[in-house]
Structure 1
Amino acid sequence: MKNIVILGSTGSIGTSALDVIHRLGNQYQVLALSANNNTDLFLKQIHTFHPRFAAVLNPISYDKLKDQMPQGTRLLPPEIDSLMFIASLPSADLIVNGLVGAVGFRPLVAAIKAGKTIALANKEPMVMAGKTLMQECERWQAAILPVDSEPSAIFQCLSGLAGKNNYAKISDDISRIFLTASGGPFAKYEGPLDEVTPAQALSHPRWKMGKKITIDSSTLMNKGFEAIEIMNLFNVPEEKVQIVIHPQSIVHSAVEFNDGAILAQMGEPDMRVPIQYAITYPQRAISPVKKLDLFETAKLEFFKPDLERFVCLDLALAAARSGGITPAVLSAADEIAVQAFLDGKIKFTDISKLIYTTLRKVPSTGGIATINQALEADTWGREEASAILNEGTYKDAVL
């Protein structure tokens, strides 16, 4: 029996994870769930999976749910400590972190310090302080299994070549990592990007995801985040990471070794595949997901990203080179900018301008950000980006 905690159970990752667990049968048990606003779905999940603990961060959601808990389920107070508590439960075998943004940082740290195995879809913490988090994994004998399609593909290509997060000994054998991206809804878009609406940006051609990650995918910031994540997770320098636009999303990523051999992970674009692999790891299980038919697959295209058109990707790669607290500020400013775009306060092209203007105010620190430095940088980045948004000074940015 594997006891599983799911952080963010009503989001796209969480719902897919519960679908996988339901299908896999009684050898997997849901120990705890967390959500934020979607109380109707959350209550349905609680009644279906009967977790021992349930947690919501939103006090309004807590008030709606507190008198509706079934027998055997305890609703925890609406605070971050509740997420940290369920992320470090002694009886938990796997923590699925499907949270969005920096809110997942503290629960991830709690899970690491409890020596847990974490199925990680919440990439922002790995952007904010990935190297430090990997050092903490080694210290506490924790393990991170990437859940996002492309990092999972790289993980699968490297499986068996390294021990528990011990990628240092094989990084010298890696020549290049090909990190693929669909290109989002605007890969071949010929219209003016400054006229793009939130509805257009939320229409991803390949993946069904939450709003934040879908907008990040449309700006290619998501791919920039993933690039930083895999640099930290797999201990490879930026020059070994090559981002490739692949509109068909069939090759999920690939690893080239020093002898010229390339291992690629391929399949139909369905998030249940990497989620299931993380849940059943190191075993594999039968899945109802559509199997790839190579004879019916159309031609596969690969081309370089246009960094002048997709400035957010360029900003992310520059932040990776700067190091220190810069990636944490990048993540914070992106959250503010994306929400402002969704709220109709700024244009699509202003997302990169707001982030760029915020990053220009970051002192040159370099090095590796500690956990506390990353958290402080996140707070500072949000405050600074919000002030720049209100002042409107981002409009003058020349990228």
Structure 2
Amino acid sequence: MKRIVILGSTGSIGVSSLSVISALGPDYQVLAITGNNNTDLFLKQIAQFKPKYAAVYSEESYKKIKDMVPAHTKLLGPGIESLVFLAIMPEADLIIDGLAGSIGFIPLIAAIKASKTIALANKEPIVMAGRALMDECRRWNATIIPVDSEPSAVFQSLENVDCHSYYKAEPQIAAILLTASGGPFFKYDGDLSKVTPAQALAHPRWKMGKKITIDSSTLMNKGFETIEIMHLFSLPLEKIKIVIHPQSIVHSAVEYVDGSIIAELSNPDMRLPIQYAVTYPKRLPSPVKRLSVTEMAKLEFSEPDLNKFPCLCLALEAAKKGGSFPAALNAADETAVNAFLEGKILFTDIPKIVAGVLEKHTSDNKPLTLSGAALVDEWAREEAQTLLETKRYQKVKI
């Protein structure tokens, strides 16, 4: 039996993970789940899956449900400490990290130091301090299996390469072809400054959380995935090529030095990469609709427009500079996206805030420590907030 902890069970990754586990049957058990604000759904999940432990992050949510949790589940107190407790549970065989944003940084570090196998959808910690985190994985013999469809596709396309202990695949790889749907504005000819949050959240292919959906609309998410893949597979930036692929059938591919390209193709459904991470190294039947190659529409591929999507350009520049720049990038973007969702800034102001923070950031180019990444994260959020409050971002040129 594989016992599973799900961090972020009420988010899109968590909901899909529970769907996968339910379909897999009794050999896969939900040991613990965590949520935050969606308490109604969280209580339903507790009733259905009967986890041994549960936790909500916020004090308000804890007070709301503390007398409503059935006796078969122990509700832990609010706060990061409970997430860490669940991330390192000795009886847990797999930690599914579906947390959103940098909140997952500390629980991920804890899981790594507990030598866990982690199915990782929360890419922000890898963006913040990927090299240090992967060093910790090697030190503590922890394993990260990517859950996002594109990094998972790379992982699967490298299945016959000795890469799962990290840093061994690079000599055989000519390039990673990292695909992107292009989001809702790939063919948009209107004024992007007038785009509303509702428009930006209307992703044509994937149903995801708000933060990642906005990042997909700006293509910042593809920049984050580039940084993630660099660290997960120890690859230089120049070996990662971003390709716009609106149909989202080819989820990414690996081009080998002999000229062969191996890709992972499937219908766009997050349950498939999640199940692969849950059952790895096995493959089991899945409820995901099969891809019929004879019925497939025409597959299109093109290069991204960096002028139209400056967030991607900023992410690639931060990846090139390395050091603490990706940590500053991530924090600034998170602040800017929240401000856009709250109606405080325009869609086109998101890259201005990120660029403004990166312009003020300096790095000594020394290897970034985990504590150093946390300090940069804090500084960048404060700087982004200052740009917002003073409106100095309006003068930033991108």
Aligned to 1:66: 66
Paired residue secondary structure (1:305): coil
Aligned to 1:57: 57
- Cα distance between partner residues in 1 of 2:322 and 2:373: 11
Indicate whether 1:161 and 2:161 are aligned: yes
Paired residue secondary structure (2:95): strand
TM-aligned CA deviation for residue 367 of structure 1: 3.8
- Cα distance between partner residues in 2 of 1:225 and 1:301: 23
Aligned to 1:174: 173
Q: Which runs of 4+ in 1 moved over 2 A?
A: 364-368
TM-aligned CA deviation for residue 160 of structure 1: 3.0
Aligned to 2:359: 360
Deviations 1:225-277 (A, max 9, x none): 00000000000000000000000001000000111111011010000000000
Paired residue secondary structure (1:360): helix
- Cα distance between partner residues in 2 of 1:342 and 1:40: 23
Aligned to 1:108: 108
Are the structure 2 counterparts of residues 162 and 367 from structure 1 closer, same or farther at C-alpha, using a change threshold of 3 Å?
Answer: farther
Map residues 136-147 of structure 1 onto 2, 5 A cutoff.
Answer: 136-147=136-147
TM-aligned CA deviation for residue 69 of structure 1: 1.4
Paired residue secondary structure (1:330): helix
- Cα distance between partner residues in 2 of 1:160 and 1:65: 47
Deviations 1:103-159 (A, max 9, x none): 001000000000000000000000001111111011101000000000000000011
Q: Cα RMSD between the aligned structures?
A: 0.8
Aligned to 1:2: 2
- Cα distance between partner residues in 2 of 1:293 and 1:278: 23
Aligned to 2:379: 380
Which one-letter code corresponds to 1:8 in the other structure? Answer: G
Map residues 267-278 of structure 1 onto 2, 5 A cutoff.
Answer: 267-278=266-277
8 Å CA contact 1:84–1:110 kept in 2: the answer is yes
- Cα distance between partner residues in 2 of 1:280 and 1:199: 36
Indicate whether 1:47 and 2:47 are aligned: yes
Aligned to 1:131: 131
Indicate whether 1:193 and 2:192 are aligned: yes
8 Å CA contact 2:84–2:106 kept in 1: the answer is yes
Aligned to 1:260: 259
TM-aligned CA deviation for residue 306 of structure 1: 0.5
Aligned to 2:78: 78
TM-aligned CA deviation for residue 381 of structure 1: 0.9
Aligned to 1:227: 226
Which one-letter code corresponds to 1:111 in the other structure? Answer: A
Aligned to 1:307: 306
Indicate whether 1:152 and 2:181 are aligned: no
Aligned to 1:37: 37
Indicate whether 1:325 and 2:327 are aligned: no
Aligned to 1:212: 211
Contiguous gaps of at least 5 residues in structure 2: none
Aligned to 1:94: 94
8 Å CA contact 1:323–1:365 kept in 2: the answer is no
TM-aligned CA deviation for residue 323 of structure 1: 1.1
In terms of mean alpha carbon deviation, does 70-79 or 257-266 score higher?
Answer: 70-79
- Cα distance between partner residues in 2 of 1:240 and 1:306: 19
- Cα distance between partner residues in 1 of 2:283 and 2:27: 14
Paired residue secondary structure (1:127): helix
Paired residue secondary structure (2:373): helix
Paired residue secondary structure (1:254): strand
- Cα distance between partner residues in 1 of 2:7 and 2:283: 23
Paired residue secondary structure (1:145): strand
Which one-letter code corresponds to 1:288 in the other structure? Answer: P
Which one-letter code corresponds to 1:140 in the other structure? Answer: W
Paired residue secondary structure (1:270): coil
TM-aligned CA deviation for residue 161 of structure 1: 1.2
- Cα distance between partner residues in 2 of 1:47 and 1:348: 40
- Cα distance between partner residues in 2 of 1:186 and 1:330: 22
Paired residue secondary structure (2:86): helix
Which one-letter code corresponds to 1:396 in the other structure? Answer: K
Work out the percentage of aligned pairs sharing the same amino acid.
62
TM-score by length of 1: 0.99
Aligned length: 398
TM-score by length of 2: 0.99
Which one-letter code corresponds to 1:64 in the other structure? Answer: K
8 Å CA contact 1:323–1:367 kept in 2: the answer is no
TM-aligned CA deviation for residue 365 of structure 1: 2.5
- Cα distance between partner residues in 1 of 2:35 and 2:373: 24
TM-aligned CA deviation for residue 286 of structure 1: 0.5
- Cα distance between partner residues in 2 of 1:166 and 1:91: 23
Contiguous gaps of at least 5 residues in structure 1: none
